Chain A
Amino acid sequence: MSVRPIAMPQAASPLHDRPSARRLLEVDWILMVATLLLIGYGLVMGYSITLEDRNFTGDIGQQVLRGVLYAVVGLSVMTIVALVDHSWLGTFAPLFYLATLGLLAVVLLGGQSTLGATRWYSIAGFKFQPSEFAKVFIVIVLAKWFADRDMRSPLTLIGGLVLLAAPVGLVFKQPDLGTSLVFLGMFFGMAFLAGARLWQLTAFVAAGATMVPTALGMLKEYQKARLTAFIDPYSDPQGAGWNIIQSLIAVGSGALTGKGLTAGTQSPLGYLPIAESDFVFAGLAEDLGFIGAAILFTLYIVLLLSALRIAHRSRDAFGTYLAGGIVAMLAFQIFVNVGMAISLMPVTGIPLPFISQGGSSLISICFALGALQSISMRREQKPIA
């Protein structure tokens, strides 16, 4: 296996690369503002959607505080990660890989179930969902894998897929079809950005396509029904299509300006399922209408394009691929989650970044954003005066 030589000046030992005040000024401010606004948006929607939740019996103040706590933890994680040279992440990539496998294995063995899937376990009263962190960790692992190898070789791609196989298998076993698909999306997004040859990528996609029937055979009946229901939800309006129809009704009834925060009706009457996570976008669109959704989209676009800019400016291949992988991870989740709410995508349990409630999702994303800022802060190679 050929290892691409790394130019020594660029790859000075990360151990000597200490944070400094000057580096802090190199933070990507646009990304930072978009991040803060999105976290704020998420807190507001968390309040509204919790109030609309018919099954919520707790104290709303406590719930908001919990959201704020997650945000504070997330921002702390982001800061810490940003302060560390991202090369360290690459250095510890094998550890991240092992940690991922360990967390996923533990959740399978001793995790708790919601709606038939074993996805999380409880730590001191907080739900911890390893697959959220697994996504970020796997981005790190793949970025490192691609950065250290010749992207022109098909062996690089095959090796990456082999690396991916174990976590994807474990997540699929939960079962969490959506997250498994996010992994594949990330992989191809990163490989594309890393410069893998198009014909190789195409060949992999084609080979994958031939395996679709086999893969479908492995799916459980309810997964298949959910996957196909979005094509024509009205073919079984009381069964597989029900969630989709109710989601469409929620989104559509929001109209241009929405029904107002906490004024949605679909969720309080129980028509909108899992409104705090999987169908959170439908709740948002119902409450705040097209305008609210457009604001959200704008923030997402700003965030994703800033991240791409960071990928472009990164001092090293690992940073570029890491940033690209984070873009792929976030974009894929956004598209699938929003697409699901408006019946453009099959129904899968993927959270909407920042908006879906849940500490694991927010904190893992903050981790990724911290890595982005770290890459941004270390982008320049100007000699130190």
Chain B
Amino acid sequence: MTDRSDRVFVHPRRLAAVALAIIGVFVVLSVRLWDLQVVNGAHYRELAEQNRVVRVPVLGTRGVIYDRDGRLLARNDPGFAVNVLPIDVPASRQDEVASRLAVLVERGSDEIAKAISDQRVRNPYEPVKVSVRPVARDIALLLVERAELYPGVQVTAEALRSYVDGPLYAPLLGYVGPINEEELAARKEAGYLLQDTIGKTGLEWQYERYLRGTLGWREFERDASLRELRTLALVPPKPGNDLVLTIDDRLQKLISAELEKGVKEDKFTQAVGIAMNPQNGEILAMVSIPAYDNNAFIQGVSTAQMKEWNGDYRRPLVNKAIGDIYPPGSTFKMVTGLSALSTGAATRNTVVNVTSNVLVVDGWRFYDWRVHGALDFVNGFAHSSDIYFYTLGGGNPYTGQRGAGPDAMAKYGRMLGFGAPTGIDLPGEAAGIMPDPLWKLAEFDEPWTLGNTYHAAIGQGFVAVTPLQLLNAYASVANGGTVFTPHLLKEVKGSDGNTVYTQAPHVTRKLDMKQEDLRLIREAARRVVTIGHAYMPDAKLPIAGKTGTAEFGESGGLDAAGRHKLGFHNWFVSFLPNADNSDPTAEIAMVLFTFDSSRSLCDVCFNPAVALTQRILEAYKGVSDKKAGAP
């Protein structure tokens, strides 16, 4: 070897430093590799698999809805939805894609960009639906053909909800819409996805669990340019179950047509008609007028339309059969009567001699609509004497006659279902008010007065009911003492047509009342019609019922258009016994409620609900004259 001093060009320490540096860098590389491959190998394997295999949900079609005879009420039409898979949208092109889509799906580009960004955070491998309303076929084709302009955009066939009769069933069926954030958060466990459609209200909401199909999955292999190579696995979705309702479409249409006609003729502004089978609580028809067109929500309701509906004092978005409360008027005399009978304050022979059309107590004047003379129970009820029922409710301080009293009235009223929701299978049911002295103390901090009892006795004052509550109370008397839970669902059928669930009648409670008292009410209710108080000329059916007129303000004044400014609502609650009016065999009970019937206040002032009831029931039973028949 040469002498070290000759080799000044060699710098051993620098060579050693380079050698160490090389080894050091390889150590760093190895540590990093160890971390990537050995420590996190499984994670990256999964990512590689996710690269290769995409798993997309396939939504099952929603079940359809039939009436009791199999007539279609809600169906699915084919349509197209636009979805975006965030992982496939380059961040740099997101805004561009969003603004392109904005034009096609008629939404703000900010909104779309936000939807994509949100989903990117949530789960970029799951598509998010960006079309609120279904898109037309030509737009769907455009998106597919110019795919390079729309990275990550998918067009999927989407079953589109369609409601056959729109407003006729809107208060019952409700509508579906794209799931929102809160609904998604609440139902994530149940397998809901952001592209899901969900029942928003009505039966669509109530029976979401039956109607919704189960998710299927499709796994396919694809390459980096997002071309689909082949389907690896397919778990087909299961379509949702179909609902069969208790609704009888024919009766629904009869009632609706009659009530619509009344509104059109300006006899009243709003109306409710409900029919049920008193023997099992099945709702045969439920009409609330005016209503909204639920198809509008499927197509994406315009803000102008929404504003109009929200601003309308007639509240078309509310199902007035269950969602609003009204004074029941004289129909409530059944409660007063049954309370008096059950407490022993009255019998069928209790006579009140109505010698004046006004009863003055402590300086307050309580009117009757005429001087009736002596009335027993049946005739007091049939003629709807107010003073008779003041007496049965609150007693008469002059004659010393005892009344049932407010607590008993509240007790039996609640037993008949007032003051609490009936439990019908619809959202948005109101409870109504069944007042008693404690209630008044709590609400107004005032003691109960005899006047309160008198007003409650004739269904005025604090008492407020939903039309359904009133119908259900009469139905329980008509069937001999059973309060059923009203229901709209008859059965649930699988997509193969097999029945998967049958709704059995559900008894809310039995009336703790004597059969003879219930029979007495039925007899009295029939007499309402037979004496012509509820005037049914040329009647072909043994209809029994009770009229009601609830005042809600001064009537008689004329407004600028020459109409009576304020007035009253009319009720007629009826049932149709099979053989004899006192038998508990009625298979149909019906309530008609007309709102502001004083609009066309005539000089004769018949309760319009009575004639409507006669026409509807006779047409339904097929016994009407051609002339009187419903259209």
Contacts of B623 in A (CB 8 A): none
A294–B36 Cα distance when bound, in Å, is 13
Q: B29–A342 contact, CB under 8 A?
A: yes
Kindly provide the distance from the CB of B386 to the nearest chain A CB, expressed in whole angstroms. Answer: 78
Q: Name the residue on B nearest A294 (C-beta).
A: B30
Contacts of B92 in A (CB 8 A): 236, 238-239
A305–B21 Cα distance when bound, in Å, is 11
Q: Name the residue on B nearest A241 (C-beta).
A: B91
From 27 to 65 in chain B, residues with beta carbon under 8 angstroms from any chain A beta carbon are 28-30, 32-34, 36-38, 40-45, 47-48, 51-52
User: B89: CB under 8 A from chain A?
Assistant: yes
Contacts of A147 in B (CB 8 A): 9
Which one of B6, B32, B91 lies within 8 Å of A342 (CB-CB)? B32
A304–B24 Cα distance when bound, in Å, is 13
Q: A308–B47 contact, CB under 8 A?
A: no
Q: Name the residue on B nearest A318 (C-beta).
A: B9
Contacts of B223 in A (CB 8 A): 54, 269-271
Q: B15–A312 contact, CB under 8 A?
A: yes
Kindly provide the distance from the CB of B490 to the nearest chain A CB, expressed in whole angstroms. Answer: 52
Q: B26–A290 contact, CB under 8 A?
A: no
Of the listed residues B33, B44, B45, the one surrounded by the most CB atoms of chain A closer than 10 A to its CB is B33
Q: A285–B6 contact, CB under 8 A?
A: no
Q: B36–A248 contact, CB under 8 A?
A: yes
Given the interface pairs A239-B90, A342-B29, the reply to whether A252 lies near B47 with Cβ below 8 Å is: yes
A57–B623 Cα distance when bound, in Å, is 84
Of the listed residues B6, B26, B43, B48, the one surrounded by the most CB atoms of chain A closer than 10 A to its CB is B48
Q: A342–B33 contact, CB under 8 A?
A: yes
Kindly provide the distance from the CB of A167 to the nearest chain B CB, expressed in whole angstroms. Answer: 23
User: B602: CB under 8 A from chain A?
Assistant: no
Q: A271–B224 contact, CB under 8 A?
A: yes
Kindly provide the distance from the CB of A93 to the nearest chain B CB, expressed in whole angstroms. Answer: 16
Contacts of A305 in B (CB 8 A): 19, 22
Which one of A248, A271, A317 lies within 8 Å of B9 (CB-CB)? A317
Which one of B1, B30, B45 lies within 8 Å of A380 (CB-CB)? B1
User: B146: CB under 8 A from chain A?
Assistant: no
Q: B9–A195 contact, CB under 8 A?
A: yes
User: A255: CB under 8 A from chain B?
Assistant: yes
Q: A252–B34 contact, CB under 8 A?
A: no
Provide the main secondary structure of the chain A interface. helix
Given the interface pairs A290-B33, A331-B22, the reply to whether A246 lies near B44 with Cβ below 8 Å is: no
The number of chain B residues with a CB under 8 A from chain A is 45
Q: A238–B91 contact, CB under 8 A?
A: yes
Q: B45–A253 contact, CB under 8 A?
A: yes
Q: A253–B11 contact, CB under 8 A?
A: no
Kindly provide the distance from the CB of B25 to the nearest chain A CB, expressed in whole angstroms. Answer: 5
User: B137: CB under 8 A from chain A?
Assistant: no
Contacts of B15 in A (CB 8 A): 193, 308, 311-312, 324
User: B10: CB under 8 A from chain A?
Assistant: yes
Q: B44–A249 contact, CB under 8 A?
A: yes
Contacts of A195 in B (CB 8 A): 9, 11, 14
Q: A301–B32 contact, CB under 8 A?
A: no
Given the interface pairs A189-B18, A195-B14, A311-B15, the reply to whether A297 lies near B36 with Cβ below 8 Å is: no
From 78 to 116 in chain B, residues with beta carbon under 8 angstroms from any chain A beta carbon are 89-93
Q: B37–A290 contact, CB under 8 A?
A: yes
A266–B45 Cα distance when bound, in Å, is 11
User: B2: CB under 8 A from chain A?
Assistant: yes
Q: Name the residue on A nearest B48 (C-beta).
A: A253
Complex interface bits, A163-183 against B, C-beta within 8 A gives 1, otherwise 0: 000000000000000000000
Kindly provide the distance from the CB of B285 to the nearest chain A CB, expressed in whole angstroms. Answer: 57
Kindly provide the distance from the CB of A200 to the nearest chain B CB, expressed in whole angstroms. Answer: 14
User: B23: CB under 8 A from chain A?
Assistant: yes
Kindly provide the distance from the CB of B35 to the nearest chain A CB, expressed in whole angstroms. Answer: 9
From 181 to 238 in chain B, residues with beta carbon under 8 angstroms from any chain A beta carbon are 221-225
A324–B43 Cα distance when bound, in Å, is 41
Contacts of A248 in B (CB 8 A): 36, 44
Contacts of B311 in A (CB 8 A): none
User: A251: CB under 8 A from chain B?
Assistant: yes
Q: A301–B43 contact, CB under 8 A?
A: no
Q: A269–B51 contact, CB under 8 A?
A: yes
Closest 3 CB pairs of A and B: A252-B44, A255-B41, A238-B90
A-B pairs with beta carbons under 8 Å apart, 10 shown? A10-B6, A192-B18, A195-B9, A249-B44, A252-B44, A256-B37, A269-B52, A269-B221, A293-B37, A335-B29
- A147-B9, A253-B41 given; 13 more Cβ-contact pairs under 8 Å: A10-B6, A193-B18, A195-B11, A248-B36, A255-B38, A256-B37, A269-B223, A269-B224, A271-B51, A271-B223, A297-B29, A311-B15, A328-B18
